[in-house]
Each structure stands twice: as structure tokens, then as C-alpha cells.
Structure 1
């Protein structure tokens, strides 16, 4: 029997070394959701920090799990699939929040399915869920410099910290990402896309 919970997973890497990096914007957004809804985290099978709570929007209420995988980015799917299976959560009740270099900093694009766009965390989730058809909140972190070795530049960029101008805008950006995830849960992906994709 399918659970009536939603699972919102923010992607990132565990540990202080990665806390403020672009790759961890999913963790940051889930932390904001946890703060909004008074959700505390505990370990799930050593694979994730997992919190359980209740979100409200007007008179509506929705039970949610908030997840931060501890598997490191490239194995994020192990944590998401373990939680999905253990709590009987349907793929149509999963939202994944992640960084996206194909979008300028501050841009949000919501989608379900399609390509992983070279994002190793999304590739892992696609593989473990055996489908790409779950909702995604893609949060733009901009492109790495195109000079030199493209692979090294990409790694250094996503594992680098936000610059001063971005740090100033970050609280509003994280709030938008959190709002987008909530809108998917309460109003569905299509309405959320109409609200956020054109910004």
C-alpha cells in the first residue's frame, strides 16, 4: 500500500568541507524547509539524514520526509531508494532538489523525467529508482570557466563556494527553491512550473 507521505530529497555531500559549496544547494534548501516546519533529522540506515514532519498551506496539510543523503553525491540514489522502499513512497511523491550548471545562478527550473544533464546524483537516482520520472527542482549555480581542462573546471566549480554577490542573494534563492518544492507537493508540478520556470 502506497504511503501518503511525500519525500523531498536535497542533494549534496556530507561534512564541513562541502557545507557551503555550490554542489550542496540541495542540502541548504532542505535545511531551510526543516527550519520552516520544525523538522529534526535522524539517521536512516547510515545512508541519510532523514526528518519527518507536517507541512501546511492554508487549511491544507501534508506529511513529508526531508532527506539529505550521506552517501556522497555519486551514490545519492541508494539513500533515496532505501527511504522510498522502506516507507512505501510512490515515485510520483518524490521531489529532488539539486544544483544545475546549465542554469544561471538564481534561476529555478522544475521538471520530471528527461536527461540527468550530466549530474551524477541524478544519474544515481535514475538508476536506483529504475525511472527518471520524479519531480526535480533544478537550482542554477552557473557555468564553470571554459578555460583549461573542462572536467577539472567543472569539479572545482561545483565544489567551490559561492562568491560574495551570490552569497548576498543566496537566502532569497534558497527560499524560492523551498517554495518551489512546497508548491509541487500542494499544487502539482504543472502549476509549480507555471509559477517558477519563467522567472
Structure 2
């Protein structure tokens, strides 16, 4: 009997938010869809773009909620409940300003870290016990207010580095689907690529 898995990449819809740091979750979902040659469809009932992909004995739903970040949980919960997907097979992919660009971290559950998308998913699923994959985007040194930063676009250098991160995040998600959470965490959590160290010439 096949099992359903849900991989929901969070972000904000529309051209104004394309390639912004806050849309790292969207970008991972798009990388998977590209890798799997999956076709997106707009499904009004779920307020989401969805792509259905067979993978071995299972089926995977890729999801991009179109509700805007702060209401992402409404879409995620609707998809999960309709397809009767248990929360331990619902993976949420989000940006994380507390991780530097170049790091990824998968966890089986935990807090929201103040991330409004995770707060919404937690509220609508009624639990924090869902796996999540955090994509590091870093933050501006010394800045406490990060709204403008996370809604800003990646610089050309950051965008180039991000491509390796997206590939590794896709690898980690495939590992999670095929072999489970523990192996995916052990094999992929941490640095994808460390930034080059700066040296002062004397």
C-alpha cells in the first residue's frame, strides 16, 4: 500500500517576492520539481500550487502555499488532512536567519524560532511534532530588525552559492523520503559550503 508524503516549501507568491531570501522554501520545492520533472497545478481548494510525484512505493506531494507566509499553515493543513498524511510525513522547508548562508538543518520537530510560517503551520496542524528543514540565509551583522533583509533578494554572489545549497537540500529530502529522518540528518545537516575565509594582507 502506497503512502503519501508532503513536502511544503514556504514563501510568498508573486513576482515581487521571487528570489528573495524569505522564499528559500519555495526555491527548494522548485528545485525538487525540476529534478523530478514534476508539473505544478494551481488548486484553489488548497490555496496552493501542488505537484504529485510517484517515488518508489510512495507518492510525494510538493506544495507551495499561495496564502503568503503568515498564513501558510492554512494551506499545509488542508492538504495534509485531505490526503490523510500524518504529521511525521509532512516536511516543512523554510528560510532561517539564525543559520548562515551555506548551512542546512533538518529536525524532527521543535519550536518556531519566531518564524511566522512555522507559527502558522504549528497553529493549523495543532502540533510542533512535524519535521522541518531550515535553509540558512544569515542576517546582517548587528541588525535586530531583519524584515527588509529577509524580504530582499539574494545578491549575485549569494545566489551563486545558494545553487549548491538547493541541490544539497534536495538530496537531503530524497534521503528522508527513501531512508528516514535520522540518516538524512546525520548525512546532510551542517555546512554545504563554507564561505571563503578573509585574510588581511600586511
The answer to whether the 8 A contact 2:2-2:59 is kept is no
Root-mean-square deviation (CA, aligned residues, Å) is 1.5
Greater radius of gyration (CA): 2
Aligned ranges for residues 34-183 of structure 1 at < 5 Å?
34-44=33-43, 45=45, 47-55=47-55, 60-147=56-143, 150-151=144-145, 154-183=146-175
Structure 1 runs (4+) deviating above 4 angstroms are none
Contact 2:24/2:95 (<8 A) preserved:
yes
Distance 1:3 1:43 in 2: 24
Q: Deviations for 1:123-144, whole angstroms, at most 9, x for unmatched residues?
A: 0000100001111110000013
When the two structures are aligned, how many residues end up with a matched partner?
190
Aligned-pair distance for 1:173? Answer: 0.9
Tell me if the contact between 2:2 and 2:58 (Cα under 8 Å) persists in the aligned partners. Answer: no
| SS of residue matched to 2:101 | coil
Structure 2: 5+ residue stretches without partners:
192-202
Structure 1: runs of 5+ lacking an equivalent: none
Q: Deviations over 1:107-128 (max 9, x none)?
A: 0011022110010000000010
CA deviation map 1:53-81 (0-9, x unaligned)? 123xxxx4531000000000000000000
Q: What is the deviation of 1:88? A: 0.8
